[in-house]
A = this chain, B = another copy of it.
Amino acid sequence: MGQAKKEILALNAFSLKNQAKLSDDVERLVLRRRHSFGATSVLFYEHPLHVVGAKGATLTTADGKTYLDLYNNVPSVGHCHPRVVEAVSRQMGLLNIHTRYLFDVGHDYAERLLAYFPAPLTNVAFTCTGSESNDLALRLVREATGGLGVVVTATAYHGNTTAVTEVSPSSYKTGAPPAYVRTVPPPHPGNYGADVAGGFAAAVGEAIAAMKAEGIPFAALLVDSIFSSDGVYADPPGFLAAAVDKARAAGGLFIADEVQPGFARTGTHMWGFARHGVVPDVVTMGKPMGNGFPMGGVVTRPDLLERFASAFGYFNTFGGNPVASAAGLAVLDVIAEEGLKENARKVGAHIVERLAYLRGSCPAIGEMRGSGLYLGIDIVSPQDGSPDPEGASRLINALREKQILIGAAGPLGHVLKVRPPLCLSIAQADIFADAMEAILKR
């Protein structure tokens, strides 16, 4: 899997070998980048984009072209949304301080956010990123259970800290997570047969039993509730419940990573876990929470925070500051006032409908999965239906030539990942479907 992941990056990323073909401005920036950023910074596309502006679901490049953005789920209510820009600008000029003083906007935001969660999830701890959120979640469940072991899916990604990388098998280029991290295949009939719920729960149970047999006490089941990096697995709604029960029966807790599915993206609920009718012990948030203002959060039960706080001092300098709170409030306002949950449902369904029709004449389009504006579209060999990562990469670069930005997911990188800003219109969805048709029928 590490090897497969390395190939995805190689397929979909810029390589210095192509450099001669670049335009002057891009070549100059690529050279500067090589000097400053070194080895950790991956650049998208054979021909990287030099971006100068963004609005709604579009990006503009230095050569004056406009690209339709089906990739970016951070500016979730739309790039540079004026409400968020105004809220951040205004608050930046008034007060930006940490949470050891009292200020109104922080409490307004905490209460507005918590109102979206079921009991007993009544406390929030603010962080700055999804990685920090998942790191804190691991600390909470380990402190509460006395356990260390975590069960995750095989190609999971939960963030970039030391501890969170250990529960992110997709980040390993060599080696593998430690023994206290166990993986299960993602929830799909191909792995578990028709009873996905039962099969997935059984696999979780076996992973827990295996770690316990080796003397590793179990702490938690941790999943992205739409299984983004595994290739997007959303159906049938409810399938998660049996696995969560299994984890709890084994004395563990359940962490729902809502960094990707959260904030209305699934089109039916505010959170991915809600589609499955489960109530997590810990919920983690990040990416879209501030529409690009760096912020994250952990919502949990008061007893878990109390237990943790009795053992450790915890403070997050920037977490929950007035500007983050103002950004977060604006995001919640825009989601509600612009009906973005319903828009995600409607436009996502339209994309599925168009591509399902197209599949009749384009056998490269395989299974489609997902919910709302988080879709995974398998790109497969027209001959035998097998996964086709090279085809997916060609498609991604061909879509870029048609000024449409999109990415890939899954262990092989053959799953086209549709996760645009939630304001994507039907007309923009049609531009994407038309482009898919033009490319795949070529």
Instruction: Give A residues with C-beta under 8 Å from B.
Output: 5, 9, 26, 29-30, 32-33, 35-44, 48-54, 59, 72, 74-75, 79-80, 82, 84-85, 88-89, 92-104, 107, 110-111, 114, 122-125, 128-132, 135-136, 138-139, 160-163, 165, 170-175, 286-287, 292-295, 302, 305-306, 308-318, 321, 323-324
Contacts and interface: CB of A to CB of B under 8 A. Distances in A.
A308 B38 CA distance: 11
B313 A49 contact: no
Contacts of A138: 162
A323 B292 contact: yes
A97 B42 contact: no
A51 B39 CA distance: 43
A401 B189 CA distance: 67
Given A85-B89, A130-B317, A102 B26 contact: yes
A311 B102 contact: no
A63 B82 CA distance: 32
Nearest to A157: B313
Contacts of A29: 102, 104, 107
A415 B410 CA distance: 53
Given A38-B305, A51-B103, 4 more contacts: A36-B122, A49-B102, A89-B89, A129-B317
Contacts of A85: 89, 92-93
A123 B37 contact: yes
B174 A162 contact: no
Nearest to A32: B107
B317 A286 contact: yes
A147 to B, nearest CB: 14
A174 B313 CA distance: 10
A41 B294 CA distance: 20
A103 B50 contact: yes
Nearest to A38: B123
Q: Which 10 A-B residue pairings sit nearest by Cβ, starting from the closest?
A: A38-B123, A162-B163, A89-B89, A36-B110, A39-B309, A294-B318, A96-B292, A294-B294, A39-B306, A38-B305
Contacts of A317: 74, 129-130, 286-287
A316 to B, nearest CB: 6
A110 B37 contact: yes
Given A41-B125, A306-B38, A102 B33 contact: yes
A5 B35 CA distance: 43
A126 to B, nearest CB: 8
Nearest to A175: B311
A93 to B, nearest CB: 5
B88 A311 contact: no
A102 to B, nearest CB: 4
A54 B96 contact: yes
Contact of A172 (B72, B96, B312): B312
A57 to B, nearest CB: 13
7 contacts: A40-B305, A53-B94, A85-B93, A128-B128, A173-B310, A292-B318, A293-B294
A102 B40 contact: no
Contacts of A111: 32, 35-36
Nearest to A292: B96
A75 B96 contact: yes
B101 A309 contact: no
A294 B97 contact: no
A314 B40 contact: yes
Nearest to A94: B53
A102 B50 contact: yes
A125 B308 CA distance: 31
A88 B292 CA distance: 12
A30 B107 CA distance: 10
A101 B52 CA distance: 10
